[in-house]
Amino acid sequence: MSAPRLNTDRLVEVGVQAEVAHPSHSGTYSVDSYGRPIILPGMAGVVANARVGDLVFPWAADHLEPGVSAGNPQRDRYQALQFLACVGNVVRVLSGPAAGAEGRVTGKHAFVLVDFPQEALDMLAPGDTLLVRAVGQGLRFLDFEDVAARSCSPALVEGMGVEVSADGRLQVHVTAEVPAFMMGAGLGMSSEWANCDVMFTRREVVERLGFGDVRLGDVVAMHDQDHRYGRGYRAGMLAFGVVAHGGYGGVPGHGMGVATIFSGPRERFEIVRSPEANLRNHLELAA
Amino acid sequence: MIINGNELLRTALVGDVTSPVMGVNPYDVTADGVPFVSVGAGGICYTVRVGDAAGGWAADQVEPGASIANPDPAANEALLLYACVGNRVTVRTGAAAGAAGTVTGKHEAFHAYKHVLVHFDPDVLDALVPGDRLLVHACGRGMRIEDRPEIACHSLGPELWEAWAATGERLRVTRVLAPEVVGMGSGRVSGATSVALQTGADEALDGLRIGDLVAVRDWDATYITGYHEDRVTVGVVSTGDSPVLGNGPATTILLSGPAAAFDFEVDAGANLADLLDLG
């Protein structure tokens, strides 16, 4: 067993400006999978009491984005932030009472999701400015040319303990494996943009498929999914991602969001099931 | 099967013939990572017609016939919600003024356009130009099937219902598909949208034609589109196939409800071109 060879020394690290986004609302109800009108929180702003490492589902929330949701009010800058930020990147607070606090990118959705120490989360407010030290797009596994890394920092690969097995496969620890028929909103989009929802919008489906113990920040495998150049169904392909957003209060076709980190042919990988495969451990996130 | 036809309103909505739009960088990327320039959505397509193969075109989700939208975004939302497949369309302005067409589907692209697709005879298409104003005689929103209240009706005009489902107890579709065929389009408002069928996900999609009526099992579109075991959604294929991952022929939502409420007859001829006599 050895660590996979990466082109880490060829990657450039870029400072990207962001700010804590303010929640917004259409002013009308959406509809959940039981046909009920719903208005639920979860997206944008600061969620101070649901963090990476917590369970995905037992929250009265829709698209629950744990910690801080970082955006940029200028559309072209927002797109740069979306495409350049990678899971594991270091983020620093630039303004407000939490200035100087340091966090890590833990996922993507409509915003770039950042975990900070609890003390900082309790002080941060929409409008506070952030600096993302973006590095990772362009990452390659040098001995696995048909495996594509997407929004994955070298620090994440190292933290995950990805290793090359004796028979030449990338050994990846995951907490769960997602069947293709559960993949919903996010298919058809760019691999790097936001994430892809696993359609857990009803408690009975979560229980039937055995996903009740999945946590925000878990590394999961997605079967028959090709996430190299966009996201879609392809038999025999595998995609890996981190659970970025959660909550039970789901609009149909949405659910638990998984941000893509790498993808390739099934035979390039050895999947190991492990309950410890979570970003809280991999990125050594502060309490 | 009987619908509440005498309760349905016929309302006037306006859409203009669109012209294709592009960003500064013209390249999209295929599933295999090859850059390509997208052709086929927006404007007028003279080549591809309802009834033609969905696959095999050098195009990305080609829209057959005339692609229309209202330039006001809120009015366009209403156009997308109220226009129903089978509805009559009249050309109001330009060289083709007075000509009649038929709504054949809808096509939504994420964070981009939302189009209603209209079939015209070839001589009318030749006379149409982008900007020509069309009147859609919209009818179908609010449709219910009298003895099947558990079925939600969406972009289904009474004209199509009469030709397709009014007689006989079984509903004709060309194929019943597995839920993993649905790609982009999960989580959208059922009445105003289309969802993409990933043609590589189910062999049953071989030979698919634009205008084909299809059913997807374990899939619900009562309000918003998404996975739901033991429910079924029926739609009509509205565009051609796509080389982009997670995409494919856009399929407009017609009906959705519990699987037990449907009795399908698989009929390869269940296509709009025949049902609505689109020449």
Q: Is the pLDDT of residue B279 over 80?
A: no
Model confidence at A1, pLDDT cuts 50, 70, 90, reads: confident
Do B77 and B110 lie in one domain? The reply is: yes
| Cβ atoms A75, A254 nearer than 8 A | no
Nearest to A253 among B32, B186, B198 (CB): B186
User: Does residue B147 fall inside a structural domain?
Assistant: no
Do B135 and B232 sit in the same domain of this protein? no
What is the average pLDDT value for chain A, to the nearest integer?
A: 96
**Whole-number pLDDT of residue A26:** 85
Contact B31 A229 (CB under 8 A): yes
Q: Which residue has the tokens 């200028």?
A: A74
Q: Where in chain A is the domain with CATH 2.102.30.10?
A: 148-282
CB contact, 8 Å: A254 with chain B? yes
Q: Give the pLDDT mean for B265-279.
A: 95
Q: Are residues B270 and B166 in the same domain?
A: yes
pLDDT of residue A27: 83
Nearest by CB: B224 against A183, A232, A253: A253
Query: Which among A197, A227, A232 has CB closest to B183?
Result: A232
Q: How many CB pairs under 8 A join A and B?
A: 113
What is the per-residue pLDDT across A25-38, written as a single tens digit (0 to 9) for each? Answer: 888 899 999 999 99
| Residue B66 domain-assigned (yes or no) | yes
Residue at B144 is within a domain? no
A127 Cα to chain B: minimum distance (Å): 25
Q: What is the pLDDT of residue B98?
A: 98
- Let me know if residue B146 belongs to a domain: no
Contact A232 B246 (CB under 8 A): yes
* Count: domains in chain B: 2
Contacts of B181 in chain A (CB under 8 A): 233
Mean pLDDT within A155-174: 98
Same domain, yes or no: B263 and B216:
yes
**Cβ separation B224–A205 shorter than 8 A:** no
B223: which chain A residues are within 8 Å (Cβ-Cβ)? 31, 35, 252
Cα–Cα separations (whole angstroms), residue A196 to A38, A82, A108, A109: 22, 14, 10, 9
Interface touch A224/B200, C-beta < 8 Å: no
Are B32 and A201 in contact (CB < 8 Å)?
no
Tokens 């609010």 -> residue: B142
- The one-letter amino acid code at A141 reads F
Extract the runs of DSSP E, i.e. beta strands, from A36-150: 37-38, 46-47, 67-71, 90-93, 102-108, 112-115, 129-134, 148-149
pLDDT > 70 in chain B, percent: 100
- Return the amino acid letter for B249: P
Lowest mean pLDDT among A34-38, A168-172, B119-123: A34-38
What is the pLDDT confidence band of residue B23, given thresholds at 50, 70 and 90? confident
Report the pLDDT averaged over residues A191-206: 95
Task: Name the residue among A138, A119, A2 with its Cα closest to residue A51.
Answer: A119
Looking at the complex, does the CB of residue A34 fall below 8 Å from at least one CB of chain B? no
Which tokens go with A124?
A: 């941060």
Output the pLDDT for position A250. 84
Q: Report the gap between the CA of A164 and the closest CA in chain B (Å).
A: 25
CA distance B193 to chain A (A): 13
pLDDT in tens, B78-114: 999 999 999 999 999 999 999 999 999 999 998 889 9
Measure CB to CB from residue A197 to each of B110, B181, B187 and give the nearest one.
Answer: B187
Whether residue A248 is predicted with pLDDT greater than 80 in this model: the reply is no
- Segment A183-199 mean pLDDT: 96
> B233 and chain A: CB distance < 8 Å anywhere?
no
Same domain, B125 and B247: no
Last residue of a domain, one of B139, B162, B194: B139
Assess whether pLDDT exceeds 80 at residue B158: yes
Give me the helices (H) in chain A, please: 75-84, 118-121, 154-160, 203-208, 279-282
- Does A247 score more than 80 pLDDT? no
B260 lies in a domain?
yes
**Does the beta-carbon distance from A253 to B29 stay under 8 Å?**
no
User: What are the residues whose beta carbons fall under 8 Å from the beta carbon of B211, sequence distance 6 or more?
Assistant: B50, B51, B104, B236, B237, B271, B272, B273, B278
Is residue B169 domain-shared with residue B128, that is, in the same domain? Answer: no
Hey, are the CB atoms on B227 and A189 less than 8 Å from each other? Answer: no
**Same domain as B124, residue B11:** yes
- Torsional class of A194: left (φ above 0), alpha (ψ -120 to 50), beta (otherwise): left
Note the pLDDT of residue A133: 98
In a domain, B145, yes or no: no
| Chain A positions in Cβ-Cβ contact with residue B228 (cut-off 8 Å) | 33, 202, 252
| CATH domain A11-134 topology | Thrombin, subunit H (2.40.10)
* Any A CB within 8 A of B30 CB: yes
> Do B163 and B266 belong to one domain?
yes
The stretch B172-179 carries a mean pLDDT of: 97
Q: Does A230 touch chain B (CB under 8 A)?
A: yes
pLDDT score recorded for residue B231 = 98
- Alpha-carbon span B101 to A248, nearest angstrom: 45
pLDDT at B238: 98
DSSP assignment letter at B180: G
Task: Kindly tell me if the per-residue pLDDT of A221 is higher than 90.
Answer: yes
Lowest mean pLDDT among A35-39, A138-142, B61-65, B178-182: A35-39
**Mean per-residue pLDDT, A181-197:** 96
Mean pLDDT computed over A78-87: 97
Residue B118's closest CA among B138, B89, B140? B89
Q: Domain range for residue B243? A: 152-275
**Confidence class of residue A44 from pLDDT cuts 50, 70 and 90?**
very high
In a domain, B248, yes or no: yes
Domain termination residue (choose one: B139, B174, B203): B139
Interfacial B residues in 246-275 facing A (CB < 8 Å) = 246-247
Task: Identify whether residues B173 and B217 lie together within a single domain.
Answer: yes
In this structure, what CATH number is given to the domain that contains residue B172? Answer: 2.102.30.10
CB of B180 less than 8 A from some CB of A: yes
Cβ-based neighbour number of residue A47 at 10 Å: 22
Take residue B9 and report the two structure tokens written for it: 């309103």
Write out pLDDT tens, residues B229-262: 999 999 999 999 999 999 999 999 999 999 999 9
Contact of B19 with chain A, judged by CB distance below 8 Å, is answered with: no
Contact A254 B226 (CB under 8 A): yes
What is the average pLDDT value for chain B, to the nearest integer?
A: 96
Q: Is there a single domain that holds both residue B21 and residue B130?
A: yes
Whether residue B224 and residue A31 make contact (CB cut-off 8 A), yes or no, is yes
Q: What is the pTM of this model?
A: 0.93
Task: Give the nearest partner residue to A251 out of B32, B200, B224, using CB atoms.
Answer: B224
> What mean pLDDT do residues B42-51 have?
97
Residues A100-110 pLDDT 10s: 999 999 999 99
Q: Does residue A249 carry a pLDDT above 80?
A: no
Distance CA B204, CA B216 (A): 11
The type of residue at B201 is: A
Q: Mutate which of B107, B180, B217 to test chain A, going by most A C-beta atoms within 10 A?
A: B180
Angle at A37 (CA atoms; ends B84, B11), nearest 5 degrees:
25
Burial of B194 (0-12, 13-18, 19+ CB in 10 A): buried
Please provide the CATH number assigned to the domain covering A148-282: 2.102.30.10
The interface pTM score, or ipTM, of the predicted complex is 0.88
Residue B243 touches chain A, beta carbons under 8 Å? no
Do residue B196 and residue B271 come from a single domain?
Answer: yes
According to the model, what pLDDT value does residue A217 have? 98
Q: Does A251 touch chain B (CB under 8 A)?
A: yes
Distance from the A29 Cα atom to the nearest Cα atom in chain B, whole angstroms: 12
* B84 to chain A, closest Cα gap in Å: 22
**Residue intervals in chain A for CATH 2.40.10.170:** 11-134
Collapsing DSSP states into helix, strand and coil, what is residue B136?
Answer: strand
The pLDDT value recorded for residue B111 is 84
CATH of the domain at B82: 2.40.10.170
Please list every residue in chain A whose beta carbon sits closer than 8 Å to the beta carbon of residue B202: none
Say whether A188 and B183 touch across the interface (CB within 8 A). Answer: yes
